[in-house]
């Protein structure tokens, strides 16, 4: 018997055979998204790279071994989200809501929402609900340890766009908290509908990607650049919690992250979340507000999805 079989950390080599299964990965042309695509395609899945810039997507896809295709999706434009979903036909086994923007200067989506909340949460909220009748297995949404900071954030229901008080890190933290509350309420609704589909969340720890390069603060960009060199995992390691959530037999609403110090790096494992991210009343309220803002909500699931 191999005495190490129960002690080795989970790695991409532990992915099961995904032949015949289809996945969508948002924000898939670089960083964590591309690492996720590469791993899933390498395990046999057909993977759709859902990207804002199809030319960059095609360039990324050309380097992936396996069955992949590129489709345009701009999460900061709800008309693009609707077009992507309307063009989908057939089963979708796995939706990975990976795309995101982080700590950027104040900006608005095409529909007028604060860019980080609009892209990271509202775009994925609409996409998930529009695709849900096709989804057969699970939805994995990428959150962040930043949902805990700064100052134990909560959803600012009185000012979701942070108008007049915008701060890049506050906006990012709110959007990542929203990802976790969305997962919580989505799982509750799936369970109530009798669906076998599961909603889970993951975070990469500190992963060295180009996401940090867009920080609104020059000093933070310098700090993050140094941290990327000294502290961060690479994209492949950062994608492991997402992949773990995508294939392991975990309860709905589970949250996966690195098991190392401060959850910055390490092997994927179930991790905790803030009290604010565990509040079912806030999750229900966020869902109602998101449905009103996007015009999209939980669909009628007339029959349990096929697994």
Q: Is the pLDDT of residue 42 over 90?
A: yes
Whether the pLDDT of residue 176 is over 60: the answer is yes
CA dihedral of residues 298, 299, 304, 307 (deg, nearest 10): -70
Only one residue has tokens 């009628």, namely 300
Has residue 302 got a pLDDT over 80? no
- pLDDT of 147 reads 87
The pLDDT confidence band at residue 230, using thresholds 50, 70 and 90, is: very low
For residues 195 and 290, give the distance between their C-alpha atoms in angstroms, rounded to a whole number.
Answer: 22
Closest by CA position to 121, among listed 71, 60, 166, 184: 184
| Catalytic site residue from 166, 172, 244, 255 | 172
- Residue 135: phi, psi to the nearest 5? -75, 130
Residue 188's Cβ-count burial label (10 Å; 0-12, 13-18, 19+) is middle
User: Tokens at residue 244, please?
Assistant: 């773990």
Question: Which one has a higher pLDDT value, 217 or 10?
Answer: 10
- pLDDT exceeds 60 at position 5: no
Q: What is the pLDDT of residue 261?
A: 61
Answer yes or no: are the C-beta atoms of 200 and 140 closer than 8 Å: yes
Q: Give residue-wise pLDDT tens across range 47-56.
A: 999 999 999 9
pTM: 0.89
Q: Is 255 part of the annotated catalytic residue set? A: no
In whole angstroms, what is the distance from residue 213 CA to residue 194 CA?
Answer: 43
Q: What angle do CA 220, 270, 252 make, to 5 degrees?
A: 110
**Residue 194 pLDDT level (bands cut at 50, 70, 90):** very high
Render 145-210 in DSSP notation, one character per residue: GGGGTTTS----TT-TT-TTS--HHHHHHHHHHHHHHHHHHHHHHHHHTT---EEEEE--SSB--G
- Window from 109-118, 169-178, 185-194, 295-304 with minimum mean pLDDT: 295-304
pLDDT tens track for 124-158: 999 999 999 999 999 999 999 888 876 668 999 99
At 205, is the pLDDT very low, low, confident or very high (cuts 50, 70, 90)?
Answer: confident
């Amino acid at each position: 018997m191999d005495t190490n079989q129960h002690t080795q950390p989970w790695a991409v080599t532990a992915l099961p055979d995904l032949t015949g299964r289809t996945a969508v990965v948002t924000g898939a042309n670089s960083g964590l998204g591309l690492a996720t695509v590469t791993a899933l395609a390498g395990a046999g899945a057909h993977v759709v790279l859902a990207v804002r810039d199809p030319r960059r997507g095609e360039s990324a896809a050309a380097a992936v071994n396996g069955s992949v295709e590129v489709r345009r999706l701009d999460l900061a434009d709800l008309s693009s989200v609707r077009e992507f979903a309307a063009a989908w036909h057939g089963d979708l086994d796995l939706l990975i809501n990976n795309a995101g923007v982080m700590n950027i200067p104040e900006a608005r989506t095409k529909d007028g929402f604060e860019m980080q909340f609009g892209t990271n949460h509202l775009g994925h909220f609409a996409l998930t609900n529009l695709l849900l009748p096709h989804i057969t297995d699970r939805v994995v949404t990428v959150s962040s340890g930043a949902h805990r900071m700064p100052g134990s954030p909560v959803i600012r229901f009185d000012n979701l766009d942070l108008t007049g008080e915008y701060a890049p890190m506050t906006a990012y933290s709110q959007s990542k908290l929203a990802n976790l509350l969305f997962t919580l309420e989505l799982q509750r609704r799936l369970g109530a509908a009798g669906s076998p589909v599961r909603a889970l969340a993951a975070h990469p720890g500190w992963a060295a990607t180009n996401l940090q390069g867009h920080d609104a603060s020059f000093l933070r960009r310098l700090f993050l650049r140094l941290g990327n060199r000294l502290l961060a995992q690479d994209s492949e390691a950062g994608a492991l919690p997402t992949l773990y959530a995508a294939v392991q037999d975990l309860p709905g609403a589970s949250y996966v992250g690195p098991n190392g110090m401060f959850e910055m790096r390490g092997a994927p494992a179930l991790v905790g979340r803030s009290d604010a991210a565990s509040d079912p009343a806030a999750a229900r309220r966020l869902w109602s507000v998101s449905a009103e803002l996007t015009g999209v909500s939980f669909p009628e699931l007339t029959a349990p999805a096929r697994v």
